Every structure is written in C-alpha cells, then in structure tokens.
Amino acid sequence: MKNKELKILLSAPRGFCAGVERAIEIVEKSIEKYGAPVYVRHEIVHNKFVVDDLRNKGAIFVEELEEIKDKSRPVIFSAHGVPKKIPEDAKNYKMTYVDATCPLVSKVHREAENLYKAGYHLILIGHQNHPEVIGTMGQLPKGSIDLIQNEDEAKQYNFEKDKKIAFVTQTTLSVDDTKDIIQVLKKRHPEIRGPSKKDICYATTNRQMAVKNIAKKCDLFFVIGSRNSSNSVRLVEVAKKSGCENSLLIHSQSEIPYDLIEKSNIIGISSGASAPEILVDNFINELKHRFIVSIDEVEIIKENVVFKVPKKLN
C-alpha cells in the first residue's frame, strides 16, 4: 500500500559529461571498426555498469599493456589520460592505439608541458593514485612535478629558492576543493603561477553548482555513481556541505536505505559524470514501487559541449 508521498528534486545537469560520452563512443566505434576484442587500458570511465556493458560488446579491460596477449589487437587509453610512456610503449609493441583521454585533461597535460619547457617546477593539486593524476605527472620527467593533496601538504611544501614555480589541478576537483590549497600556496609563494584558464572541468563545476542549489531543501540526498569515481564522491561532500547532512553515494552494491527515505519528505538526486542516466531511472523506479512520487527537475544551466571522436574512427 503506497501512502507516503515523496518529492524528488532532480539535479540538472547530472550524469554523463562530454568527455565520458566521447570515451564510450570511442570504444564502441573501435569495436565496430576493428572487430572484437579491443583492449582498454584501465576502466574507460569509473562506472561498473558502463564497463560491464562494453565488456559484453567485446572490450577487454587491462591495467597494463603487458597483460595484452595479442598485441595485434587495438588498445584504447581511458578518459583519465595516461603517462607519456604508455603511447611510447604501444609504439614499441607496434600496437594500434586510440587515445580516449578527455580533451580537458589533455589541455592540462599540454599546459604542464609548456610550463615545464618555460623553466617552471610544477605542483599538481590532486588525489594520489587517481589515474588522472598518474597521467598528468607522467607527462614530465621524474622530479619536475610534485603532488599536493591538501592544505597541510601545501603548508609544509618545501619551495626551492631559485626555482620558478607553477601549479595545475586535477580536472575533477571543484573550485571549492582547490581554493584553500591555492590560497596557502599563493600566501607562501606570491610569485607562483596559476593556470592560464581554470583547469576545473565545466561538468564538475556545473554538477556541483546544481547540487548546491537544491541540497539545503532536501531531507536526504543521493548521488548515483561508483565508489572510485572522484567526481561522484565529491558530489556527496558538496551536498553535505551545502545543507543536507544525510547525503549518500548509491553504487552498484548499495542497498536502498528505505528506512531513511520513510522519514524524509523531500529527497535530492544527482549522478556523477560517469554514471549513465539509466541508473537514475532505475533508482527512481524502485522508489515508485513504494511511494507516491512527484519529480521536479531543477536545471541551473544547459550543457551543449560535444567532443569529437578521433578522425581514424569515422
């Protein structure tokens, strides 16, 4: 018997960004062009549903090129970007490769390289072991770029006297995530050079603004996304900071917390940049089995960014 009314505020924009859409399309078009299997180095995007779907279509996911037994098959590099060494290794193996690095990540790579060539020592603000961070640090020779993850590390960072210093940031961190760290760095080293344009990706910014916009009105907030998706985890933090303490990540192993939903009148829903819309639809359909649901989609900005796939796949 449905008797509880539940209002859903659906955050928009949410879900797939242009870089993720392009990466998935690259895998699908590669399978069309080269036949199955094609190999993908690292999860193409951080979402189990997407990875499983592509696996069913003929993609084989590996962490390193060495794992690929049949080197005559093409390999695709994930949207997060790869260290410089990886395309070089692929060439040495005489492998066909397709680079699905998000163009916004590639932009940071080029920026880091240009700053390095201009004589700067680099700082990357980001999360250790995230594939994007590994890829960006791998654009430059060892020792010429340092990672700073938080304010404490910024406070303790040892600035070498006679070096010109510049910083770049991981794209999936928001302006809020990086501003305190940047403040510390600028205070300690006023000559530090920042990126020419903001490196934060438009999709990260838009999704976080959309969540901020509705979180304070919600009793409970859900972000649909994977546990290893940096931007999904951030969205949960943003919802909490913006006034909805009860904010949770819903991932592939999650049980829906009906007990908490029972006590709520308004719930917010968003999804990370690598989460397909079908997961949001499935989640809402589950709620409709138990509650009388009304949905209000709250859009703060229209996104019309499209990134083209590499010419060789057309």
Q: Tell me the catalytic residues.
A: 132
The token pair at 215 is 């979180």
Q: Which of 288, 284, 253 is nearest to 271 (CA)?
A: 284
The token pair at 241 is 């900071």
The token pair at 254 is 């999650």
Q: Which of 71, 69, 27 is nearest to 47 (CA)?
A: 27
How many other C-beta atoms lie within 10 A of the C-beta of residue 16? 23
3-state secondary structure (DSSP) of residue 271: strand
Residue type at position 162: D
* Inter-CA distances, 275 with 22, 108, 230, 241, Å: 14, 23, 12, 22
How many other C-beta atoms lie within 10 A of the C-beta of residue 231? 26
The token pair at 206 is 């838009």
Query: Which helix (H) or strand (E) element contains residue 145?
Result: strand 145-148
